[in-house]
Amino acid sequence: MLSLLYKVSGMINPPKVSKKMKQFQVFQILILILITTSSTEDLDYAKEGCNDTCGDVRIPYPFGIGANCSVNKWYVVECNSSTPYLSAFNNIEVLGVGLEKQTVTVNVSVTSSCPTSNLIPSINLGESPFVFSRLHNTLTVEGCGHAVILDEGKVITGCSTTCTNDTTSERDHCFGLSCCQNTIPYNLKSYSVDLTGLKRLGEDGACGYAFLGNMEWLDGVFEDNKQLRTSFRKAKTRNTSFIPITLVWFLTNIDFHEIPNCWERQGRAPVLDLGNGRYIPSRKCSCGIGRVGNPYLHYQCQGIMSPKFPS
């Protein structure tokens, strides 16, 4: 804005300019201010007649607050006490929805079923249009020993820790001393965590913890998304028994009948790798280069510096 004021000052008080030229420059200034002050806040992110925010979280279509505001039942969000929840999954809390990377980050509880069992199952995404994101999540193990993630009984990733008598667990410095991390090789529909041999420091016979979680949140390096950063920081200070985890959402051809005028980038259609030779095709709408907004809604994309005029 400061640079704009300098430009305005220079246009109003240039040396040796005629009266007509000054009037024309004032007109230019008004147009410049109109364009500069226009923003994507004018755009709609929800279907007509639906709210696009719940508390601090924006809920863009194809998600929707209420049964008639989403593309299908899986994307229904309930807003309770200014907190959004995915109703299809026993009301797990939604921290943020991303349109460009097709992600939804949710808050899930970290539970240890030890000592009765060392095998902890995940949320089963089943027939839903969601998978656990390979790119956004990492396995974190806290304690002394090792833990692995299994997909249909097959070990796909894991890590081991070492501990000494004076070792303390520090999740922010997870380099193998009582804490380790590892990636997952592909997107998952469900998984289980085997804690066999993992113990907590100073508690003989008690199990440690192992969980899949959003790596940006775990590392304290939050995504370049203001709303998600806010949600992450609130989740970080609110309750350590919950961990944000990121899901990738995808749209089928049937869903696209509900989305008019979707523009897709040319080239090979994106697919999600589920491992063992299994792939899921994923349709994706785009605003195009230099444009922002919600490409899943008609006429809700605009140029970054372009004003939105009434239609």
pTM of the shown model: 0.77
pLDDT of residue 33: 44
pLDDT of residue 237: 53
Q: What six digits make up the tokens of 268? A: 């090979």
pLDDT tens for the chain, 311 residues long, are: 444 444 444 444 555 556 666 665 655 555 444 443 444 456 889 999 999 999 999 999 999 999 899 999 999 999 999 999 999 988 799 999 999 899 999 998 776 656 567 788 888 999 999 999 999 999 988 888 888 999 999 999 999 888 876 555 555 567 767 888 999 999 999 999 988 777 776 655 566 788 899 988 877 655 555 666 565 566 555 555 788 999 999 988 888 877 877 888 776 667 899 998 899 888 888 888 888 899 999 888 887 754 444 43
In terms of DSSP bridges, do strands 199-200 and 130-132 run parallel, antiparallel, or are they unpaired? Answer: unpaired
The answer to whether 178 and 168 have CB atoms below 8 angstroms apart is yes
pLDDT of residue 206: 66
